[in-house]
Amino acid sequence: MQNYLRDQLQASLGDGYAIEHELGGGGMSHVFVARDNALKRQVVVKVLAPELAAGVSHERFRREIELAASLQHPHIVPLLHAGDAGGLLYYTMPIVTGESLRDRIAREGSLPILDTVRLLRDVVDALAYAHRRGVVHRDIKPGNVLLTENHAMVTDFGVAKALSDSAGASDGGALTSIGVALGTPAYMAPEQAAADPHTDHRADIYAVGVLAYELLAGVTPFTGASSQALLVAQLTDDPEPVTKYRPSTPPRLASLVMRCLEKNPADRWRSADELMKQLDIIAATLDDGGIADFAADGAGKQSGRRTHLGFPLIALLYFLTSAAVLASVKLATVQLGLPDWTFPGSVVLLLVGLPVVVVTAISHRRVSLRATRASRERPSGRLGSVTWRKTIFGFLLAFAFLGIVVAGYMAMQTLGIGPVRSLLAAGVLKERERILVADFANQTPDSLLGGVVTEAFRIDLAQSPVVTVLQANYLRDALARMQTPSNTPLNLTLAREIAIRDGIKAIIAGEISEAGARFVVSAQIVSAQTGEVLAAARETASDSSGIIGAIDDLSRTLRERIGESLRTIRANEPLDQVTTGSLEALRRYTQAIRAIEVEGDFSRGIDLLQEAVALDTTFAMAYRKLGQHLGNVGTRRTLAVDALTKAYRYRERLTERERYLLLGTYYWSVLGDRHRAIASYRTLLETYPRDHIALINIGNGYAQVRQFERSEEVSRRALEIDSMGRFGYSHLAFAEGSLGKMAEARATVDLGIARLPRNPDLRYFRASMLASSGDFAAAEAELRSLRERHGESQFWVQATNTALAQLASAQGRLAEAEQYVETAMAAAEAEGTGANYILGAVRLALADIALRQNSSRALQRLDRALARHPLGEMEPLDRPYRQVALVLALAGKPERARTVLREREAVVAADLRRADLLRLAQEEHTTLGALAVAEKRYADAIAEFRSADIGPCRICALSHLGGAYELAGALDSTLEVQRRYLTLPALDRVFNPVPNVTAAGFGDGLFLTLIHKRLAELYEERGDRASAVRHYARVVELWKDADMELQPVVTQARRQLAKLENSPVR
Catalytic residue annotation = 139
Question: Which residues are CB-contacts of 194 (< 8 A; sequence separation ≥ 6)?
Answer: 235
φ and ψ at residue 437, rounded to 5 degrees: -100, 115
Q: How far apart are CA 488 and CA 479, in angstroms?
A: 8
Q: How far apart are CA 1062 and CA 1059, in angstroms?
A: 5
Q: Are strands 518-527 and 151-154 parallel, antiparallel or unpaired?
A: unpaired
Q: For 435, which DSSP code?
A: E
DSSP string, 378-419: PPPTGGGG--HHHHHHHHHHHHHHHHHHHHHHHHHHHHT-ST
Residue among 423, 427, 711 at smallest CA distance from 563: 423
Q: How far apart are CA 743 and CA 772, in angstroms?
A: 13
Residue among 762, 722, 760 at smallest CA distance from 470: 722
- Contact criterion met (CB below 8 Å) for 67 and 158: yes
Would you give the distance in Å from CA 578 to the centre of its chain?
16
Alpha-carbon distance values, 323 to 317, 320, 350, 1002 (Å): 10, 5, 10, 71
Long-range Cβ contacts of 304-309 (<8 Å, 24+ apart): 306/368, 306/371, 307/368, 308/364, 308/365, 308/368, 309/361
- Spell out where 345-497 has E strands: 433-437, 441-443, 467-469
Residue among 614, 554, 557, 550 at smallest CA distance from 576: 550
User: How large is the C-alpha radius of gyration of the chain?
Assistant: 39
Beta bridge partners of 94: 43
Which SS3 state, helix, strand or coil, does residue 69 take? helix
Beta bridge partners of 525: 508, 535
Alpha-carbon distance values, 990 to 635, 979, 986, 1045 (Å): 21, 17, 10, 22
Which SS3 state, helix, strand or coil, does residue 240 take? coil
What is the number of helices (H) and of strands (E) in the chain? 48, 14
- Contact criterion met (CB below 8 Å) for 563 and 466: yes
φ and ψ at residue 417, rounded to 5 degrees: -110, 135
Q: How far apart are CA 795 and CA 788, in angstroms?
A: 13
Q: What angle, 0 to 180 degrees and rounded to 10, lies between the N-to-C axes of helices 472-481 and 492-502?
A: 80
- Contact criterion met (CB below 8 Å) for 974 and 938: no
- Contact criterion met (CB below 8 Å) for 880 and 834: no
- Contact criterion met (CB below 8 Å) for 650 and 623: yes
φ and ψ at residue 64, rounded to 5 degrees: -65, -40
List % helix, strand, coil for the chain (3-state, nearest 5): 65, 10, 30
Q: How far apart are CA 278 and CA 254, in angstroms?
A: 12
Q: How far apart are CA 192 and CA 138, in angstroms?
A: 8
Alpha helices in 670-775 (DSSP H): 674-687, 692-704, 708-721, 728-738, 742-755, 760-772
